[in-house]
Amino acid sequence: MVLVAYSEAPENLPVVPLWISGSAFPIDSPTSLFPVVSSVKDTPIHHAVSVSPSSAVLAADAAATAFRTWRRTAPSHRRSLLLKAADVLERRGKEIMEAQIAETSCPPQFAGFNIKAGVEYVREIAAASSELRGTVPQRAADPSGNESGGLTIVVREPVGVVLVIPPWNGAVILPLRAISMALAAGCTVVVKASELCPLTHHTLVSCFEEAGIPAGVLNVIQARREDAAPVVEALVSHKAIRKVDFIGSAAVGSKIGQVCAKYLKPILMELGGKGPAVVLEDADLAKTAGLCAMGAIVDHGQLCFSTERIIVHKAIYSQFVPLLTAAMSKIPSAGNAVTRQSAIHAHDVLVDAQSKGAEFLVGGPEYLTETSLKPTLVTKISRDARIRDEETFGPSASVYMAEDDDDAIALANDSAYGLNAAVHSQSWEHAFNVASQLEYGQVHVNDMTSTDSPGCPIRGVKGSGWGQSNSIWGIHEFSIEKSIAFHSSGGLSFLAGH
């Protein structure tokens, strides 16, 4: 069981505990609990224990103890356990979906996609663990010019205990990817679950343990938002924590990055985006319109990969915009925001744009319910409007006209972010020429910006983070190359006579 009973919990609701070294950590007192609230129902669905810095340290201690054994396991053994975990995740898919829907208010279709894609990521990472290889570099001559002899080998070793901080959006795919990469590399993990969906994240960890991952290799805690900063610092400063994997907003990533810099701990970060879809004059306009509209509204626009800007070549602007508005108008609802405050933020960004001269092709700052905004297309954006380069995290996109390819590229690159982009053209050569000039980690040709592939590396550039995830690229993030040099007995002959 992931949830536990606690007689002193408000409303007698079940509790998401702290999970350390394979068991639920004792609940100190009712004051350590916080409610997990459904945004749609606006009522608590369960409670969770908010970890203290001292208890968080115990999770790191447990991971450090488990690391001494786990690091020695063969990649083939870790691969086998990850494949078993994927089977368990698939079998318990309905349970995981229900938790994600209840906690994040996402549509059932999106929750189902998270399970299907998340399992694919785990299996791909398991397969890629066979690619963990060392090398034997050539030996250089000694300073006297003589062959030094001996042998040098370069081996890959796990970096150590990893702190994983996953988000509430993509609440299944993203933590599964992060956990699997670290485990495949031979690392142990402390997961700091999102305070908005702790049950979802705990359920994922329980699937790994059901598959046979030893106790202590995976530990999961959570903290109410106001407790998070000291908890993160306690973990990052812990001597056993050797790397951090954070997925979330640029604002929070900046703060965590500063803590990591303070303690000289490396961090893999995948942050926000302001994804542009560049529509070139030779695009398939009808197909592109549908892809742009859908890319803007998936999960109420609450994806860092969302299509936030649609940049249209002047030559086809008058033909394309009616198709785009028609495609967006056919979408009655984009689902619900994860919290009411999130919906308010997305609404306020649209109000700000309107106050600064923006016009709406579809929708506007309009609520369908307290947690759902009307799908919206905005145009005539002023440079000082928040929507120009602030993530809306709502079901909206801005539409811009580009004079030519160079102008479209300049508009697309005019952002602090650099995560995902799309280029639409019926000429692959034309699309490649534009894509190669975009300052984004991923560029998708003739598809939504909100696209990813388990077998390809993914990274942010500029303000969207650093480091790579997925497959062998992600596993390498959590391993280090160590050189071991075997010197011959005559290795110091050049010093003779000195």
The two tokens of residue 261 are 């810099």
Q: Is residue 361 part of a domain?
A: yes
> Within this chain, do residues 346 and 281 fall inside the same structural domain, yes or no?
yes
Q: Is residue 386 part of a domain?
A: yes
Residue 363 has a pLDDT of: 96
Q: Is residue 43 part of a domain?
A: yes
Which position among 103, 270, 281, 308 bears the catalytic label? 270
Please tell me the total count of domains within the chain: 2
Closest CA to 250 of 443, 460, 470: 460
Which position among 260, 304, 308, 391 bears the catalytic label? 304
Does the annotation count 304 as an active-site position? Answer: yes
Which residues, 6 or more positions from 209, have their beta carbon under 8 angstroms from its beta carbon?
22, 215, 218
Which residue segment(s) compose the domain that 239 sits in? 10-271+465-481
Q: Is residue 446 part of a domain?
A: yes
Here the CATH number for the domain that contains residue 348 is 3.40.309.10
Residue environment code for 323-337, b if the CB has 16+ CB neighbours within 10 A, otherwise e: bbbebbeebeebbbb
> Within this chain, do residues 303 and 254 fall inside the same structural domain, yes or no?
no
For tokens 């120009």, name the residue: 388
Q: Cβ(470)–Cβ(458) under 8 Å?
A: yes
> Within this chain, do residues 411 and 443 fall inside the same structural domain, yes or no?
yes
> Within this chain, do residues 442 and 354 fall inside the same structural domain, yes or no?
yes
Does the annotation count 270 as an active-site position? Answer: yes
> Within this chain, do residues 203 and 335 fall inside the same structural domain, yes or no?
no
Q: Is residue 343 part of a domain?
A: yes
Long-range contacts, 468-473 (Cβ 8 Å, 24+): 468/268, 469/177, 469/178, 469/181, 469/268, 469/270, 470/121, 470/124, 470/125, 470/177, 470/181, 471/124, 471/125, 471/128, 472/128, 472/131, 472/132
Plot region of 22 (φ>0 → left; ψ -120 to 50 → alpha; else → beta): left
> Within this chain, do residues 258 and 224 fall inside the same structural domain, yes or no?
yes
Greatest alpha-carbon span in the chain: 88
Beta-ladder partners of 328 = none
Question: CA-CA distance, 310 to 288, in Å (whole number)?
Answer: 10
> Within this chain, do residues 450 and 304 fall inside the same structural domain, yes or no?
yes
> Within this chain, do residues 122 and 227 fall inside the same structural domain, yes or no?
yes
Residue 487 has a pLDDT of: 85
Q: Is residue 403 part of a domain?
A: yes
In degrees rounded to 5, what are phi and psi of residue 397? -145, 150
> Within this chain, do residues 262 and 390 fall inside the same structural domain, yes or no?
no
> Within this chain, do residues 232 and 376 fall inside the same structural domain, yes or no?
no
Residue environment code for 339-378, b if the CB has 16+ CB neighbours within 10 A, otherwise e: bbebbbbbbebbebbbebebebbbbbbeebeebbbbbbbb
Query: Which residue stretches of the chain have pLDDT < 50?
Result: 498
Q: Is residue 487 part of a domain?
A: no
Here the CATH number for the domain that contains residue 225 is 3.40.605.10
Question: CA-CA distance, 40 to 225, in Å (whole number)?
Answer: 20
pTM, two decimals, is 0.94
Q: Is residue 145 part of a domain?
A: yes
> Within this chain, do residues 180 and 236 fall inside the same structural domain, yes or no?
yes
Q: Cβ(44)–Cβ(146) under 8 Å?
A: no
> Within this chain, do residues 370 and 421 fall inside the same structural domain, yes or no?
yes
Closest CA to 460 of 484, 443, 445: 443
